Amino acid sequence: MTSKSGYSSTLLRRKASAAIIYLARLLILTIVGYIVLYPFFYMLVTAIKDIDAMLDVEHIWIPVTYSLKSFKEIFELLDFGTALKQTFLVQISSAAIETFVCAFVAYGFARFKFKGKPICTFFLILSLLVPIQMYSLSMSVNYRNLHLFNTPFVYWLPSLLGVGIRSGMMIFIYQQFFVNLPKELEDAAYIDGAGPVRTYFSIALPSSSVVLVTVSVLSFVWHWNEYYLASLTFLSDSAPLAMVLSFLKVYLKQVGIYEGWPEYASLVSAACLMYVIIPLILYMIFQRKFVRSIDRVGITG
């Protein structure tokens, strides 16, 4: 009888400790989720408020009246359609080019031995450590001498050469995947008479669909948020969306709207939401594949 009561008490303690751990995890996730989502919900509520709702201090989170006027005004004020078109023409196309070029370069690092490989690996690691601000002056001078200012080649040329935005990180991710990829399939292709290039396109690249999702999403977000290079090499009339958004305060002053006014907060929130909605939709579409690919590739930090 004593043993049964002791077993029951032990079981109850285990269940109680498991319940406490579960509640603690739930509390931590709730707090973290609130911290992460609070700015987004605040921008959303502020963006849909009209002037009367902005002045209503009794209804902060659920406005009595709402309007989508701020989104329309921002779309016209920033010429959002033109800026979005320029972003996809220049930066997103560059992200697509860079994604596939970095895979090709990483396959060479992972599978072949060649003279100067240690030196190339050193510069690859160096590219991960040195920020663009360190060499931006010389880079902008070279672009000016080549008459590439205000042209898509500012992004396309480095991407084609595998030295674009965060290319070192992309090559490193691909390389880690190709190193762990079994060589038996490639050996079979070599026996069938395929060369290195054909083996890459027929065996290695199709097998890298998992890591391709990870690199594609990361490359899209990095190029989408890229502002520094655009500010050095593009004029305001043909600038991508990230650069145009940085001029929002100037544009609002030109139409007589100043910081501290009720409509100022609504317009700024609407602009921020319009900017983040496309990456957010992309992540929602590829969420499962992205998380699964990170788990398989082994990205940490």
The ranges assigned to domains in the chain are 2-55, 78-246
How far is the CA of 88 from the CAs of 8, 218, 284, 290, in angstroms?
Answer: 64, 15, 19, 22
- Pick the most confident of 208-217, 258-267, 269-278: 269-278
* Reported CATH class of domain 78-246: mainly alpha
Q: Which amino acid is at 146?
A: L
| Whether 262 contacts 51, CB under 8 Å | yes
* pLDDT higher than threshold 60 for residue 301: no
- Residue length of the chain: 301
How far is the CA of 226 from the CAs of 38, 157, 242, in angstroms?
Answer: 24, 16, 7
Structure-token pair, residue 232 = 């050095």
* pLDDT higher than threshold 90 for residue 27: yes
pTM strictly above 0.75: yes
Query: CA 62 to CA 100: how far, in whole Å?
Result: 46
Mean per-residue pLDDT for 10-31? 87
Look at residues 125, 126, 121, 95 and name the one whose alpha carbon lies nearest to residue 110. Answer: 121
Predicted confidence at residue 103, as pLDDT, reads 94
* pLDDT higher than threshold 90 for residue 28: yes
Predicted confidence at residue 22, as pLDDT, reads 92
Can you tell me whether residue 104 is helix, strand or coil?
A: helix
**pLDDT tens profile 184-206:** 888 888 888 888 888 899 888 88
* pLDDT higher than threshold 90 for residue 31: yes
**pLDDT tens profile 216-270:** 888 999 999 888 888 888 876 678 888 888 888 888 988 888 888 878 888 999 9
**Which range has the worst mean pLDDT, 9-13, 45-49, 277-281?**
9-13
Predicted confidence at residue 283, as pLDDT, reads 84
Mean per-residue pLDDT for 173-189? 86
The owner of tokens 């009246």 is 65
